[in-house]
Amino acid sequence: MSTVNGTTPVEKIDFSSDQEVRWCPGCGDYSILKQVETLLSQSGRKKEEVVFISGIGCSSRFPYYLDTYGLHGIHGRAPAIVSGLRSVRPELSVWMITGDGDALSIGGNHIIHLLRRNVDVNVLLFNNEIYGLTKGQYSPTSPEGAITRSTPMGSTDHPFNPLALVKGADGTFIARSMDRDPKHMREVLARADAHRGTSLVEIYQNCNVFNDGAFEVFTEKASKPEHTLFVEQGKPLTFANGTKGICIKEMKPRIIDIGPDFSPNDCWIHDERDNFKASILVRLFEDPRHEGAFPRPFGVFYVADRPTHEEKLQGQVKRAKEVKGVGDLDALLNGGHTWTIG
Amino acid sequence: MSTTTLKTKPVESRQNVVILFAGDSGDGIQLTGSQFTDSSALFGNDVSTFPNFPAEIRAPQGTLAGVSGFQLHFGSVEVWTPGDQCDVLVVMNAAALKANLHKLKPGGTIIANTDGFDKKNLRLAGYIDEADPLTDASLAHYRLHSVDITKLTRAALEGLTLGMKEKDRCKNMFVLGFINWMFNRGMDNSERFLQQKFGKKPDLLEANLRALKAGYHFGDTSETFTTRFEVKPAPMPKGTYRSITGNQGTALGLIAGAQKAGLDLFYGSYPITPASDILHELSKHKNFGVITFQAEDEIAAISSAIGASYGGALGITASSGPGIALKTEAMGLAFMLEIPLVIVNVQRGGPSTGLPTKTEQADLWQAVHGRNGEAPIPVIAASTPIDCFDMAFEAVQLALEHMTPVILLTDGYIANGAEPWRFPAAKDLPAITPPTVIAKGDEEEVKRSLADLHDASGKFLPYIRDERGVRPWALPGQPGLQHRIGGIEKQDRTGNISYEPKNHELMVKLRAEKVARIADRFKPIRLDSGPTEGEVLIVGWGSTYGSIRTAALELQAEGVSVAHVHLRHLFPFNKGLGPLLKNYKRVLLPEMNSGQLRQLLRAEFLVDIHGLNKIQGLPFTSAEIKEAVLNLMKP
């Protein structure tokens, strides 16, 4: 994928399709659609070079709203469709739109393999901690005890920590953003787009109909400073308007008060290339209602360079052609071990 | 060494011979069998084989469950099946004899490895009181030759530094050498094979060559064998031949199809018996632009193939029954997208895990009906290992030229069986022309030059159709053709989401009509043999071909009014089939299931059809089919 030039747009292109957007009024998806459109139009990329692949769910209607190529697939299988497409068309810019149910429940087996293979695709995982299109059942990211239409007495399931799962599957680009912070989302998406390999961005997205306010504590002005941690490359991990920070002591993260005892220099300096620190960062996932809980990190947690799957596949085809010569059908049919009659 | 000149014993000529090699699944029986097949084919015989092995890689030694067999039918006449019963039975142990004796013709020859008949082996094979059939006269009606193959092999390898286990592994080459002698074959082909296989391991090469030669000389010098047999070359059509298994044929047919369409081939697959050999074969041919993708599961296998087809390659997936069941939803997606895709089902015994290494034709209904909603997909079937090539090629042709998923049915019997193939020249295979849209220039130019594919406002119409009902294949990357497709119901022509009731009905009909029209391109239906009207018509499909053909030809020679038609197109049917069925007083349909095609034909053509159904994981014998025809004709 070509690098995005975020500051000097080459040419503004309208990426909207002629289709009416049919999400519920007030849905967080609108904000994500807008940021993606803005990013694409600023990137100078041609519409025909972009493909959106999705599964099933509210988020997965996304491809219909963009004037690019698009395939609305079946539940959970978008990663597999993407893998096939990228294997044969590595020059295209491929985006995958999925949700917490689509990616982590029915498609759980595919997403982990997409990540380990490092297929070059930008995965936008809209996490709203609920099933929206089927009208309000708990999802694999709903907190334990969640009261939903299918769990009137509360969910008995322990939820996934999506980014820890991504890290466990050796994802090469791991990031988190939120629908209520468009600027941050745009920056993170631009980074994801520039990365070669599977870029997975978890986006906290509010479902105002079935799970309104699920991420309120991270998005509302009053609670946001205390409960969020925006990581930036080379900068200390500070939050609460710079009054608090996170340091690592005896291999464990700790919250410190910046002031007479500690300065920002005592904090953990974010290094998105640090594999082990990334493993700790994705684990800062405590219930914000608990006293002394770590703030929830946002931003680019981890970036690694690893050859993409399609590069390796195409490399083998290229090498086979070099070593054996471009396939000759007659030689193949002959097989090299024949006899003649007559 | 020119062993073929050592004709010291009389040679008896035979028209055709069936030989069955049987032993423990670790005895190397499959290799002995396939090598002797190779030599016979090179010699000019017509051949047909039936490898039959347990699902376990190494089932408990010496037990009936662990017996592996390889049956070869070779002749100076055309052969169509691996043979109903065998003339020669080679057994490496007591269990192999017990499991296979019923397949030996009365008076047939048994060659038994005495070392495999010790007390332990006799007990494991279930011989009561460990009674040894080699010595208790129970085999008096056969020509029994007891040979201590283990001892003779060890003796031949004396002085080599190999361990006893490795030496004993050469027993199968002793057997091959002996059989080469018995059927008056040269050793050149066997020796060449060993050179290739063990060229880099001189000690193993030496051991195997020694065992091979020891087997040959044993035949020549041992006094128990008084006669050798000769099966002269068959009068095969002139040409150059090779040997091919069904799975190889399928793989080559798929590659040939992709080449003739000028496309790269993407094969998404998850390992499963008996389809995995297609993956193995395709993965060797990357220089043909073949990408093989071993997916995380069956669903990802087909979904990745859909993604590849969407990108403009030829997407293919294959599996066997249980895996096909998992692919069902994605097949519906491919059907709904109207995208080219080939799905191969190498059938095995079902349901569920069923009989993984045994054959059956019980996935026909699954292929024809097994999807939600109305999703007719063309279903075609291969009848022989060679036919796997032809039908795989046709599957590619139909998928690409009609923008539809196509299901190709083969089965374990023909997938693993081999026969000589007079392979075609690449230039004689037809070109395949998918409805690919080629856009030139920028967006505005494309809209002008391809105005017939756009609406008045310049919007590309991905679901506009040609006279056959086929939509254009517009690949991502081209300006002016951006469009969205999906599994959700779409508006006619535009492809936009539509829940409009009348539109849904229209789309269901348009999709069905497109598939039905594929029958327009089929060649007129042709009888395989027999009169165009008469007493009995045998209708067959798939791997029953050889047995039915043999039965029909034999009955015709006996003056019975019987004809044979073999169906390759199971959905849609050949248009000539309905009238043909009505030209005979009775119709017989042998199937390795409980009557699946019979029900489809009855429903389609309202004719009565008699079933002959075998559900044992084994192919029909021609005798079974002959008997059924004669029974049907009884007043």
Closest residue by Cα to residue B311 from B494, B485, B511: B485
Strands (E) located in B520-583: 534-541, 562-567, 569-571
Averaged over B609-633, what is the pLDDT? 97
**Interface ipTM:** 0.96
Closest chain B C-alpha to A316 CA, distance in angstroms? 7
Q: State the pLDDT at residue A10.
A: 46
Q: State the pLDDT at residue A9.
A: 43
The reply to whether B186 touches chain A by the CB within 8 Å rule is no
Measured between beta carbons, which residues in chain A are less than 8 angstroms from residue B313? Answer: 87-88
Closest chain A C-alpha to B71 CA, distance in angstroms? 22
* Among the four given CATH numbers 1.20.1440.230, 3.40.50.720, 3.40.50.920, 3.40.50.2300, the one describing domain B534-633: 3.40.50.920
Q: Look at residue A4 and tell me whether its pLDDT is greater than 70.
A: no
Averaged over B167-172, what is the pLDDT? 95
Residue A138 main-chain phi, psi, to 5 deg? -70, 155
pTM of the model: 0.93
The reply to whether A326 touches chain B by the CB within 8 Å rule is yes
Averaged over A41-46, what is the pLDDT? 90
Measured between beta carbons, which residues in chain B are less than 8 angstroms from residue A313? Answer: 291, 293
Hey, where are the domains in chain B?
Answer: 7-230, 242-426, 443-520, 534-633
Q: When comparing pLDDT for A250 and B208, which is higher?
A: B208
What would the DSSP string read from start to end of A264-299? GGGSPBP-TT-HHHHHHHTT----TTSTTPPPEEEE
Strands (E) located in B376-515: 379-381, 405-411, 418-421, 484-486
Query: For B519-562, what is each residue's pLDDT tens digit?
Result: 999 999 999 999 999 999 999 999 999 999 999 999 999 999 99
Q: Reduce the secondary structure of B34-80 to three states and give it as a string.
A: HHHHHHHHHHCCEEEEEEECCCCCCCCCCCHHHEEEEEEEEECCCCC
Closest chain A C-alpha to B236 CA, distance in angstroms? 7
Q: Quick check: A327 and B288 CB within 8 A? A: yes
| Residue A281 near residue A202, CB atoms below 8 Å | no
Q: What is the token pair recorded at B172? A: 């199968």
* CB-count exposure of residue B352 (10 Å: 0-12, 13-18, 19+): exposed
Q: Look at residue B95 and tell me whether its pLDDT is greater than 50.
A: yes
Residue B2 main-chain phi, psi, to 5 deg? -110, 80
Q: How far is CA B171 from CA B68, B69, B589, in A?
A: 15, 15, 43
When the pLDDT of each residue in chain A is averaged and rounded to a whole number, the result is 94
Write the Ramachandran bin of B38: left for phi over 0, alpha for psi from -120 to 50, otherwise beta: alpha
Q: Look at residue B161 and tell me whether its pLDDT is greater than 80.
A: yes
The reply to whether B426 touches chain A by the CB within 8 Å rule is yes
* CATH no., domain A1-214+307-342: 3.40.50.970
Q: State the pLDDT at residue B186.
A: 87
SS3 content of chain A, % helix, strand, coil (to 5): 35, 20, 45
Q: State the pLDDT at residue A11.
A: 54
Strand partners, B98: none
Closest residue by Cα to residue B486 from B477, B494, B495: B495
In this prediction, residue A256 has a pLDDT band, given cuts at 50, 70 and 90, of very high
Q: Which 245-284 residues of chain A touch chain B by CB within 8 A?
A: none
Q: State the pLDDT at residue B595.
A: 98
Measured between beta carbons, which residues in chain A are less than 8 angstroms from residue B454? Answer: none
Amino acid at B318: A
* CB-count exposure of residue B206 (10 Å: 0-12, 13-18, 19+): middle
In this prediction, residue B12 has a pLDDT band, given cuts at 50, 70 and 90, of confident
In this prediction, residue A96 has a pLDDT band, given cuts at 50, 70 and 90, of very high
Closest chain A C-alpha to B113 CA, distance in angstroms? 32
Q: For B216, what's the count of Cα atoms within 13 Å in the CB-facing half-sphere?
A: 23
Of B264, B309, B487, the CB nearest to A74: B487
Of A51, A325, A335, the CB nearest to B476: A51
Domains B242-426 and B534-633 equal at CATH topology level: yes
Residue B611 main-chain phi, psi, to 5 deg? -95, 145
- Strand, helix or coil for residue B551: helix
In this prediction, residue A12 has a pLDDT band, given cuts at 50, 70 and 90, of low
Q: When comparing pLDDT for B53 and B241, which is higher?
A: B241
Q: Which fold has domain B7-230?
A: Pyruvate-ferredoxin Oxidoreductase; domain 3 (3.40.920)
Angle, to 10 degrees, between the axis of helix B29-43 and the axis of helix B171-182? 30
In this prediction, residue A6 has a pLDDT band, given cuts at 50, 70 and 90, of very low
Closest residue by Cα to residue B290 from B272, B269, B274: B269
Q: What is the token pair recorded at A99? A: 């949700």
In this prediction, residue A52 has a pLDDT band, given cuts at 50, 70 and 90, of very high
Q: What is the token pair recorded at A30? A: 């609108």
Query: For A173-213, what is each residue's pLDDT tens digit?
Result: 999 999 999 999 999 999 999 999 999 999 999 999 999 99
Most B-contacting residue of A111, A119, A313, A339 (CB-CB within 10 A), to test interface: A339
Averaged over B214-232, what is the pLDDT? 89
Among residues of chain B, what percentage have pLDDT more than 90? 91
Query: For B423-450, what is each residue's pLDDT tens digit?
Result: 999 999 999 999 999 999 999 999 999 9
Distance CA B139, CA B143 (A): 8
| Residue B34 near residue B418, CB atoms below 8 Å | yes
Q: State the pLDDT at residue B227.
A: 79
Q: State the pLDDT at residue A55.
A: 97
What are the contacts of A219-222 at 24+ separation with CB within 8 A?
A219/A178, A219/A180, A219/A181
Of B239, B310, B477, the CB nearest to A342: B239
Query: For A263-305, what is each residue's pLDDT tens digit?
Result: 999 999 999 999 999 999 999 999 998 999 999 999 999 999 9
Distance CA B228, CA B219 (A): 9
What would the DSSP string read from start to end of B574-615? PTTHHHHHTTEEEEEEEESSSSHHHHHHHHHH----EEEE--
When the pLDDT of each residue in chain B is averaged and rounded to a whole number, the result is 95
- Strand, helix or coil for residue A52: strand
- Strand, helix or coil for residue A188: helix
Q: State the pLDDT at residue B225.
A: 82
Q: State the pLDDT at residue B592.
A: 98
Q: Which fold has domain B242-426?
A: Rossmann fold (3.40.50)
Most B-contacting residue of A23, A338, A340 (CB-CB within 10 A), to test interface: A338
Q: If you count them, how many residues does chain B have?
A: 635
* Look-up of token digits 């059989």: B179
Hey, where are the domains in chain A?
Answer: 1-214+307-342
Return the residue of B nearest to A70 by Cα: B484
Query: For B245-286, what is each residue's pLDDT tens digit?
Result: 999 999 999 999 999 999 999 999 999 999 999 999 999 999
Q: What is the token pair recorded at A341? A: 């009659």
- C-beta neighbour count of B81 within 10 angstroms: 26
Of A84, A91, A112, the CB nearest to B293: A84
Q: Look at residue B4 and tell me whether its pLDDT is greater than 70.
A: no
Query: For B337-383, what is each residue's pLDDT tens digit?
Result: 999 999 999 999 999 999 999 999 999 999 999 999 999 999 999 99
Among residues of chain B, what percentage have pLDDT more than 70? 99
In this prediction, residue B175 has a pLDDT band, given cuts at 50, 70 and 90, of very high
The reply to whether B326 touches chain A by the CB within 8 Å rule is no
B562 CB contacts (<8 Å, ≥6 apart)? B530, B534, B535, B536, B537, B538, B552, B555, B556, B629
Q: Look at residue B187 and tell me whether its pLDDT is greater than 70.
A: yes
